[in-house]
Structure 1
Amino acid sequence: MTSTALLVIDAQQSFYHRGYQETAETPAFEQQIRKLIAGCQRRKIPVIDVFHLEEDGPFSLASGLVKRLPFLDHHATLRVQKKVHNALTDSGLAAWLQEHQIKNLIVSGLRTEQCCETTARVASDLGYHVTFVTEATLTFPITHNGITLDIADLRHRTESVLINRFATIATVEQCLHALA
């Protein structure tokens, strides 16, 4: 039995309505997250799909878009739904992890600085060892008060606030090597 699980957070078609196809980083993200999932599956690491839900719009169940992005074809060990920004507090996932004696979480998915980072922080606070695989996460530029943070800025910021506090930062290769 493994004590590690991979979380694939919010990698759902709902994001087609929130800028998913507008980033030059998309092809690299798709390649890296597929590589991470496949590597975890080869090692018998549970892969958990986490989907974000909202009452209305593209993140509602009624939209028909709360399903995996089409380039993902893995078999998920578990599928959970959340209505908050982290994968643990309202999805039933925390109970499943405890029942299966999972102590280590690998974080991947969408958006780097939002649901992925928030999940890493909450998981760390709950006592999990978290590996944050930034290249297997994706985000989009954010503009606030006339200042735009690009994808590189957001990734750097997320890694800077997580490293040595809430998570180990790793590439897909580093993560898979550590699991070997």
Structure 2
Amino acid sequence: MDIAENAALVVVDVQKGFEEEGFWGARNNPEADENIASLIDAWQATGRPVVFVRHDSSHPASPLRLGYAGNDFKEYVEQRRGKGAGAELFVKKTVNSAFYGTPDLDAWLKAEGISQFVVAGIQTNMCAETTARMGGNLGYRVLFALDATHTFDLEGPFGWRRTAEELAQASAVSLHGGRFAEVVTTEAVVAAAVAV
């Protein structure tokens, strides 16, 4: 695996509100937070740029709404912000894609000469996947660290219900099979990043 020296890590919505199981329901991948932390550490240790994305929900009952404690980044993310030698960007958004946030992620990546980025964060099949899809559409080389994401069980139309793991697998198949992104493991990405 080839990780560019200036490849960015885009950490999507790793916020305290996602720990409210009563609101979201059952989740998958309990190792996601440890893997996200490993990626941030590897990126900061190698001086690569990190983008921290926060979802500011406009829904009054959302655990991610502004002014509520759940809007804050999880402690392990907050403790790492500002610690790397590389560039850092903080993006705020109200929709699924980090490319529709403030400041403009696409403009920043282009200004920094970045053509490759890794996606990690929450939720696999929502904001993480949407950000990866848009990145692929915009011509970036996107790596999707599947085991550094997690999601929740969800009910859709016609009474269809899918588990978090089923949804994560569907996201991985769509992203990888549809050539929006290369789906990878945290271990492989970290090994490639520190080997350069």
State the superposition RMSD in angstroms: 1.9
Count, aligned residues = 178
Secondary structure of the residue aligned to 2:148 is strand
Q: Could you say which residue in structure 2 is the equivalent of 1:5? A: 8
CA distance in 2, matches of 1:105, 1:75: 18
TM-score using structure 2 length: 0.83
> Which residue of 11, 14, 17 maps to 1:14?
17
Q: Could you say which residue in structure 2 is the equivalent of 1:82? A: 93
CA distance in 1, matches of 2:113, 2:50: 15
Shift of 1:41: 1.3
Identity %: 30
Q: Describe the superposition over 1:66-116 as per-residue Cα deviations: whole angstroms up to 9, x where unpaired.
A: 221123321252211011110012322222111111111100000000100
- Give structure 1 regions of 4+ aligned residues with deviation exceeding 4 angstroms: none
Shift of 1:149: 1.1
Q: Describe the superposition over 1:36-76 as per-residue Cα deviations: whole angstroms up to 9, x where unpaired.
A: 11111111111111011123343222224322112332125
1:131 counterpart = 2:160? no
Q: Could you say which residue in structure 2 is the equivalent of 1:109? A: 121
Contact 2:28 2:164 in 1 (8 A): no
CA distance in 1, matches of 2:35, 2:190: 12
Shift of 1:24: 5.8
Contact 1:5 1:46 in 2 (8 A): yes
Distance 1:36 1:154, change over 3 A: same
> Which residue of 151, 154, 163 maps to 1:150?
163
Extract unaligned runs of 5+ from structure 1. Answer: none
TM-score using structure 1 length: 0.89
Greater mean deviation of Cα atoms: 49-58 or 31-40: 49-58
> Which residue of 176, 180, 184 maps to 1:163?
176
Q: Could you say which residue in structure 1 is the equivalent of 2:27? A: 23
Contact 1:33 1:136 in 2 (8 A): yes
Q: Could you say which residue in structure 1 is the equivalent of 2:39? A: 36
